[in-house]
Amino acid sequence: MMSAFLKKLLFVRQFDLAEGKIEMLGKREIMLPSNFIFAIQDGNKNTYELIKMLTFENIKEWGDKIGSSEEGLIKNIKDIYETFGLGPLEITDLRNEKEEATIVIRESVIAKEYSKIKKSSKGAKCEIIASILAGMFSYIFGSDVDAVETKCLFSGSEYCMFNVGKGVR
């Protein structure tokens, strides 16, 4: 079933999938298998900062086009995250005044890829998701923040959990 967010974008002609091209909110997108994303994450130590920066820039551009209240902005960002195919995003704790948040991802595609390919791992498993969340919440808070995974499906947790804020990394 198509998300309500994508239906809205289709209705206002801001999403198109034709002739080998995907466009959302006037920006060209690509769709890749999850194991490609896993390989990108696993092979480059600079991935976190690069994806954080690019996510911030994209969310800022989309936020300017969508234009909404803070509550609407958070809903739109959750919808955009889910449109990326990364699973449902749940904000379990949002502390705007401290520029902190706790996020739960119950269906992390990255953690699931880890369990298929790797048997064990040291360090963060869902580093790309952490970088995407850092970019998104840097935009929401209007301040540079980071994200770190504190629980992971791969490690036996029921979900992946991320802390977002200054100094969490």
* Integer angstrom CA distances of residue 169 from 10, 81, 105, 133, 136: 38, 22, 19, 13, 16
pLDDT at 123 over 60: no
Q: Which residue has the tokens 């379990």?
A: 92
Q: What is the pLDDT of residue 98?
A: 95
Q: Which residue has the tokens 């490690």?
A: 155
In the sheet that 146-151 helps form, which strands lie side by side, from edge to edge? 89-95, 100-105, 160-165, 146-151
What pTM does this model have? 0.77
Strand partners, 27: 24
| CATH number of the structural domain spanning residue 116 | 3.30.1380.20
Shared-domain flag, residues 73 and 95: yes
* Domain ranges, residue 130: 34-165
Shared-domain flag, residues 99 and 159: yes
CA Rg value for the chain: 16
Shared-domain flag, residues 1 and 58: no
Q: What is the pLDDT of residue 138?
A: 95
Cα–Cα distance measured from residue 157 to residue 35, given in angstroms and rounded to the nearest whole number: 21
Shared-domain flag, residues 2 and 73: no
Give per-residue pLDDT as tens, 131-155. 999 999 999 999 999 999 999 888 8
Our count of domains for the chain comes to 2
Shared-domain flag, residues 79 and 141: yes
Shared-domain flag, residues 82 and 8: no
The one-letter amino acid code at 157 reads S
Q: What is the pLDDT of residue 1?
A: 65
Q: Which residue has the tokens 């790797």?
A: 118
The overall average pLDDT reported for the chain is 81
pLDDT at 37 over 70: no
Any idea of the CA torsion for 38, 40, 6, 89, to the nearest 10 degrees?
50
Shared-domain flag, residues 117 and 148: yes
Cα–Cα distance measured from residue 30 to residue 99, given in angstroms and rounded to the nearest whole number: 31
Cα–Cα distance measured from residue 71 to residue 14, given in angstroms and rounded to the nearest whole number: 21
Shared-domain flag, residues 157 and 140: yes
In a 3-state reduction of DSSP, which class is residue 84? Answer: coil
Shared-domain flag, residues 10 and 47: no
Q: What is the pLDDT of residue 105?
A: 92
The one-letter amino acid code at 73 reads L
Shared-domain flag, residues 26 and 48: no
Give per-residue pLDDT as tens, 67-118. 666 677 788 788 878 777 777 889 999 999 999 999 999 888 788 777 777 6
Structure tokens at 126: 């869902």
